[in-house]
Each structure stands twice: as structure tokens, then as C-alpha cells.
């Protein structure tokens, strides 16, 4: 029963994320989707994947911090690793 509820919730959240994304295209201004709609759609898709047990990782090895932030990040890493 618990597994069935998970599948039903995942289907509902997936379909609602698709519907919200398409509806946002046709609301004024037409063709422009606000960042909050994209964020909410992404959260629904992440919720769907977590219900289905899909694991994901964010690879930030190629991330470069803005100028001046690298020294701040180094200090934070050192404090966390203590």
C-alpha cells in the first residue's frame, strides 16, 4: 500500500510539474517563464525522483568561485574540517 501511494504521488507531482511549466509559457508575458516557476518545477521533479528512489549528485569540481570568494571558501573549508 505504501509503495502504491509513492507511485501515485510521483505521477501526480510529475504531471503537475509538466502542466505548470507549459501553463507558464502561455501566461502573460507569453513565452517568458519566471524563475520562481522554474524553481517550483525543479522542486516537483526532484520530489518525484526522490519518491522513485533516484539518487543524484551535483558535481561542482568545475565550479570556480567569483573573484575574492576563493580565499573565503578556503577558510570555511578549513574550519569545517577541524
- pLDDT by 10s per residue, the chain, length 82: 788 888 888 888 888 888 988 888 888 887 787 888 888 888 888 888 888 877 666 565 665 656 666 666 666 677 776 6
Distance CA 41, CA 37 (A): 6
8 A C-beta contact, residue 6 and residue 51: yes
pLDDT number for residue 55:
63
pLDDT number for residue 63:
58
The model carries a pTM of 0.56
pLDDT number for residue 59:
60
Query: What is the overall mean pLDDT for the chain?
Result: 77
Amino acid at each position: 500500500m505504501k509503495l502504491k501511494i509513492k507511485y501515485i504521488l510521483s505521477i501526480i507531482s510529475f504531471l503537475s510539474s509538466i502542466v505548470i511549466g507549459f501553463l507558464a509559457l502561455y501566461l502573460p508575458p507569453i513565452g517568458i517563464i519566471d524563475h520562481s516557476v522554474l524553481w517550483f518545477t525543479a522542486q516537483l521533479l526532484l520530489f518525484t525522483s526522490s519518491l522513485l528512489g533516484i539518487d543524484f549528485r551535483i558535481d561542482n569540481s568545475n565550479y570556480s568561485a567569483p573573484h575574492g570568494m576563493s580565499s573565503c571558501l578556503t577558510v570555511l573549508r578549513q574550519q569545517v574540517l577541524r
